[in-house]
A and B are shown apart, each in its own frame.
Chain A
Amino acid sequence: DQQVKQNSPSLSVQEGRISILNCDYTNSMFDYFLWYKKYPAEGPTFLISISSIKDKNEDGRFTVFLNKSAKHLSLHIVPSQPGDSAVYFCAALSNSGYALNFGKGTSLLVTP
């Protein structure tokens, strides 16, 4: 059962514009959410996270928004750069666990 869902397999955005990547989850026990970035043939790299007690966390060009009532989070990248082209994974953690639950990923392509 897929408890973390990323319904857009791919996204293409022009350089300089905003990229918005979406993620939905079903398990109400999740209380910590993370975004990972992954290049081909490399391991995931942690990007940004958010606790369920917050609704927004910002780090430079990256902002994550959490809507607990909708069980939805999104990652905003602005302005988008060609180097941001990668697969982005949404992951969730429950307060009683340590196993990250990953979505299937969204492949972002930022075109010049």
Chain B
Amino acid sequence: NAGVMQNPRHLVRRRGQEARLRCSPMKGHSHVYWYRQLPEEGLKFMVYLQKENIIDESGMPKERFSAEFPKEGPSILRIQQVVRGDSAAYFCASSPPLGMNTEAFFGQGTRLTVV
């Protein structure tokens, strides 16, 4: 899973600031998935993107959260006006074209702490 790169690894934000989490998928992968892991919880699906398209964002909070996967560059998960409850580990996974989620490989995650 070393091929999926997430940065930063750790991010500290004050309440009300914006957090931007980046994910570069494995080479050749055009599908990206974001998951969130709250303390003492399992990973929860947030959003599934393909290049320039959001396929499913049913797991995303309705407000303050957005995601994109542009034609060029990494996928970005953006959290506006962060609150303490946003503190979590955010994991990105990627899969190849036409691959199913079962072939997804995870990055090392970004640990967001809101103070």
Q: What separation, in Å, do the CA atoms of A89 and B91 have in the docked complex?
A: 14
Residue from B1, B48, B58, B107 having most chain A Cβ neighbours under 10 A = B1
A86 to chain B: which residues have CB within 8 Å? Answer: none
B58 to chain A: which residues have CB within 8 Å? Answer: 99
Q: What separation, in Å, do the CA atoms of A45 and B59 have in the docked complex?
A: 22
Determine if A44 and B100 form an interchain contact, defined as CB atoms under 8 angstroms apart: no
Total of A-B residue pairs, C-beta within 8 Å: 63
A46 to chain B: which residues have CB within 8 Å? Answer: 1, 105
B93 to chain A: which residues have CB within 8 Å? Answer: 43
Q: What separation, in Å, do the CA atoms of A52 and B41 have in the docked complex?
A: 25
Determine if A34 and B41 form an interchain contact, defined as CB atoms under 8 angstroms apart: no
A43 to chain B: which residues have CB within 8 Å? Answer: 1, 4, 6, 91, 93, 106-109
B101 CB to closest chain A CB, in angstroms?
A: 4
A102 touches which of B1, B43, B108 (Cβ 8 Å): B43
B33 to chain A: which residues have CB within 8 Å? Answer: 98-99
Q: What separation, in Å, do the CA atoms of A51 and B50 have in the docked complex?
A: 25
Q: Closest chain B residue to A45 by CB distance?
A: B1
Q: Is B44 an interface residue (CB 8 A)?
A: yes
Q: Mark B26-66, 1 if CB is under 8 A from A, else 0.
A: 00000001010000111111001000000010110000000
Interface range on chain A (Cβ under 8 Å from partner): 20 to 34
A36 CB to closest chain B CB, in angstroms?
A: 8
Q: Known: A101-B45, A104-B40. Contact between A41 and B108, CB under 8 A?
A: yes
A3 CB to closest chain B CB, in angstroms?
A: 10
Determine if B109 and A99 form an interchain contact, defined as CB atoms under 8 angstroms apart: no
Name the 9 nearest CB pairs between A and B, nearest first: A102-B42, A43-B106, A99-B45, A98-B101, A102-B43, A104-B42, A43-B108, A44-B106, A43-B107
Interface residues of A (CB under 8 A from B): 4, 6, 32, 34, 36, 41-46, 49, 89, 91, 93, 97-105
Residue pairs across A and B with Cβ atoms less than 8 A apart, 20 shown, are: A32-B102, A41-B108, A42-B109, A43-B1, A43-B4, A43-B6, A43-B108, A44-B1, A44-B106, A45-B1, A46-B105, A89-B43, A98-B100, A98-B101, A99-B58, A100-B43, A100-B104, A101-B45, A103-B42, A104-B42
